[in-house]
Homo-oligomer: A and B are copies of this chain.
Amino acid sequence: MTDTIKVALLGAGNVGSQVARIFSEDSAVLKERIGAPVELIGIAVRDTAAKRHWDADPGLYTTDADALIDAADVVIELTGGIEPARTRILRALEAGKSVVSGNKALLAKHGVELQAAADKSGAQLSYEAAVAGAIPILRPLRDSLAGDTVTRVLGIMNGTTNYILDQMDTTGATFADALKDAQELGYAEADPTADVEGHDAASKAAIVASLAFHSDFTIDDVHVEGITAVSADDVAAADADGYVIKLLSVCERDGEGVNIRVAPTLIPRQHPLAGVHGAFNAVFVQAQNAGELMFYGPGAGGAPTASAVLGDFVSLARRLVLGGPGVPESSYAQLPATGLGDIISRYSVGMLVDDKLGVLANISRIFAEHGISVDSLRQSTPQDGAAQIRLVTHSAKDSDLRRAIAVIDGLDTVREIISVIRVESGK
């Protein structure tokens, strides 16, 4: 094929508009890099008259997505949501048309079905833009580390929550104030649920874990905890111990399976991920031979995400020009997702206790009875007869830790368990 490659774009939001702009402005460059001319033949939208971030030729907008898909060689889906995106992508893949998508929610839920449709027809399916915006992470996992064994991935995969936690860390702001600030700056949506409850990061973690461990994981395999309960006190206590709290996506080998979790997590100040500020994202990969790698960059934004879309597009368009099928997904390992109970980790525990003799001894004894030893402990100056205790444990099994906390929570002298947050050492 050296004929013009006809491209259908589904969606003209923040990212879609930028993709349309790049096709318009860089068509000569794209032609050189691909080896064939490229033509954006249409943009499927709900409302052709809506206001856009960038205005394409008005004749390109259409509400008939199916007709557009049928006329195209390659489909770029940037609408988001499950339906009608899923049906439209399947329509394209089943007809042998390659697809680029940035739809993390869809891929984290129906990725296996979409990949199977692609493999069946020999079409290519790429979705670098679905994880960490412009940062190349899926391709390095699929190709660059293809001859290595990934043992763990730690990622800051959501810019909104990183901005909020970074504000709390650097200014001492409360969660509510930092969220408001993020909303005013456009980093957080009016309804911030998907971000602050960790759902967005969980979708990305499922996608990353699938590629890193050559298995099929969905968002249902991810243990998710958001950042809404993280208090200014938690952040200050972490800081006092040399840590910073990040919403971390952790994907790691766990016995015969893989544990995938998203939760507020303490990491040491000197860890490379601790230096990821504002709305930036970063993914830290540990592999048997490569050692420790980190990928850093803007995790969102129209132009950065469009860059990832175009990278996928050029790569698959080159393959169309050269001939030969795309590389199918290798999920040969099919490792199971594991529960949290057997996870071994250190924990930061905050609690409010009566300022009485013997309370601390009692708490220490309960931890010891559950096989948990305490690494460090600080107690605040008592106020109104109560003191705040902040301790960090040595490595403990999650189920043991939870049992110990339940017993401690039942003590008359313990007024409140303030927080239980995992600590990742980065090793």
Q: Which A residues fall within an 8 A CB radius of B?
A: 18, 22, 26, 29-30, 32-33, 35, 128, 134-136, 139-140, 143-149, 214, 272, 275, 287-298, 301, 303-304, 306-315, 318-319, 322-325, 327, 330, 332-333
Set of chain B residues within 8 Å of A304, measured between Cβ atoms: 289-291
Q: Are B287 and A292 in contact (CB under 8 A)?
A: no
Q: Are A332 and B136 in contact (CB under 8 A)?
A: no
Q: Are A139 and B134 in contact (CB under 8 A)?
A: no
A280 and chain B: residue at smallest CB distance = B292
Set of chain B residues within 8 Å of A30, measured between Cβ atoms: 147
> Within the assembled complex, what's the spacing in Å between the Cα atoms of A22 and B145?
13
Q: Are B327 and A318 in contact (CB under 8 A)?
A: yes
Q: Are A311 and B145 in contact (CB under 8 A)?
A: yes
A30 to chain B: closest CB distance in Å? 7
A295 and chain B: residue at smallest CB distance = B295
A324 and chain B: residue at smallest CB distance = B324
Interface centre among A18, A298, A304, A307 (most CB of B within 10 A): A307
A-B contact pairs, 17 of them (CB 8 A): A22-B289, A26-B147, A33-B330, A136-B143, A139-B143, A140-B140, A143-B314, A146-B314, A146-B315, A147-B313, A290-B304, A294-B294, A296-B296, A318-B327, A322-B325, A323-B324, A324-B325
A333 and chain B: residue at smallest CB distance = B32
Set of chain B residues within 8 Å of A297, measured between Cβ atoms: 290-294
Set of chain B residues within 8 Å of A318, measured between Cβ atoms: 146, 327
Set of chain B residues within 8 Å of A309, measured between Cβ atoms: 147
Q: Are A214 and B308 in contact (CB under 8 A)?
A: no
A144 and chain B: residue at smallest CB distance = B136
Q: Are B306 and A33 in contact (CB under 8 A)?
A: no
Kindly report how many copies of this chain are found in the complex they form together: 2
A29 and chain B: residue at smallest CB distance = B149
Set of chain B residues within 8 Å of A292, measured between Cβ atoms: 297-298
A339 to chain B: closest CB distance in Å? 26
Q: Are A144 and B311 in contact (CB under 8 A)?
A: yes
> Within the assembled complex, what's the spacing in Å between the Cα atoms of A214 and B30?
12
* A307 with B33, Cβ < 8 A, contacts A290-B298, A293-B297 known: no
A256 to chain B: closest CB distance in Å? 15
Set of chain B residues within 8 Å of A312, measured between Cβ atoms: 147
> Within the assembled complex, what's the spacing in Å between the Cα atoms of A287 and B315?
17
A213 to chain B: closest CB distance in Å? 12
Q: Are B148 and A311 in contact (CB under 8 A)?
A: yes
Set of chain B residues within 8 Å of A144, measured between Cβ atoms: 128, 136, 139, 308, 311
> Within the assembled complex, what's the spacing in Å between the Cα atoms of A314 and B148?
10
18 further interface pairs, Cβ-Cβ under 8 Å (given A32-B333, A33-B146, A291-B304) = A22-B147, A33-B332, A35-B330, A134-B289, A134-B293, A136-B136, A136-B293, A143-B143, A143-B314, A145-B311, A272-B275, A288-B303, A292-B298, A294-B294, A294-B295, A322-B327, A324-B324, A324-B325
Set of chain B residues within 8 Å of A134, measured between Cβ atoms: 287, 289-291, 293
What 9 A-B pairs are tightest by C-beta distance, nearest first? A324-B324, A147-B310, A136-B144, A146-B314, A134-B290, A289-B307, A290-B307, A293-B297, A32-B332
> Within the assembled complex, what's the spacing in Å between the Cα atoms of A134 and B287?
10
> Within the assembled complex, what's the spacing in Å between the Cα atoms of A139 and B32?
18
Set of chain B residues within 8 Å of A148, measured between Cβ atoms: 307, 310-311
A320 to chain B: closest CB distance in Å? 10
Q: Are A308 and B296 in contact (CB under 8 A)?
A: no
Interchain CB contact (< 8 A) of A310 among B289, B301, B319, B322: B289
* A147 with B287, Cβ < 8 A, contacts A135-B293, A297-B294, A323-B324 known: no
